Structure 1
């Protein structure tokens, strides 16, 4: 057994703390995240309110505990849908080639050639704010990256000698794709998935800050930052608390992705073992 990677241990621990705090928010939160009390508005941290209160007198600590639920769920769903659709398009193009490959590659090039942030803002602006429209905008701007990588991996695996041997034994396309091609690229997909989740979280925060993503009064970190624009000078804790949560979430996801890349990269692993 190899010794534990400190980076992975730290990333997993930090990510677990953030996820568990959001999952157990109904138990840990001392107040209703949407309960207002104008008598205590814009108060600093105190015993009654550990992180202070916002402009409507809502407890900031309770809202922070609930704040990652929507962003994390939407980011995971958007990344999973983008990966599924991108893998489908990439595998079909790389495996069958010809006109299918030309069409799928052209579509991926078109979507990748468009500025992702501008396209997301345009889609969310046309369809309006809300989680379904936000999810659609994220998927449409993310699937092409998965598709190109999957296509490249499919072209490589298709030329392997064991694939030719299985064809000789009578294995069909569905069996080869499902049992041999897709499983052999899943390690790369896991690493790519973690990195894309972090990007999705940042994209959700950006769109929600502009009023095109998750809508208030949903307790969300990015919505909390947007709501604090008018009072951040007199009450900086309104931005610091949710901002630190987004920073720590992105840090843990990126560190986890780097650790997984180092562990699943066979060539770098062989170099370290020498």
Structure 2
């Protein structure tokens, strides 16, 4: 297994997986708390437009994806705050507009759908050194803000009205969460792909919720589970020759099933013991 470290592209893939595994659940925990689990999917489609824009303008697709995804995130919060458009409709607009814009711009750039495949489903083993540096820098920013501002972001996600009364700039923190989600999607774009990144933002959080009780412990556990799934997925994909993105997501889903079964088993055992104690 250690032989994979002999290859520079695998070392870069593991570093990218490390940042992806940590950042996706770090911000995904807040999205789940706000019941915006599908926001990652919507912003992923918007980021696809950014990728296609990069192909059209000969600018690094990772850079244009960050810019377009962040603008999309700000637009989402603006629509949620100042329009009467329901949240699910806003997400639908992102889905349709993002994918349509990406395909249209890719066509104008003379690129086929195959050119977008590595961004849709991930291509971690082809990540360049410059991409890795950008992923690392963006990942550090997301982690510092997501962890350092945990009390404020949790307050906004838990109860906006109470947070506003407490003096917190709710609108600013809401936009910050959306922007961090957009940045996280571009960080994970080359690892698990735009179509699968939302799974890594949600599934480790859902798994952690099976095992923890407080928000803080859920946040930390989700980041650990995401890291484990991402790094293990790269290793397994190397050993069995599969695509890293789907492998990472399937491992994350497998961990959720195990956690859910364990929790169900514990609840069943407690349920059987309770009547015995009462009879005694």
Question: Would you say same fold, with TM above 0.5?
Answer: no
Based on CA coordinates, which of the two structures has the bigger radius of gyration? 1
TM-score by length of 2: 0.31
Asked which structure has the greater RCO (Cα within 8 Å, sep 6+), the reply is 2
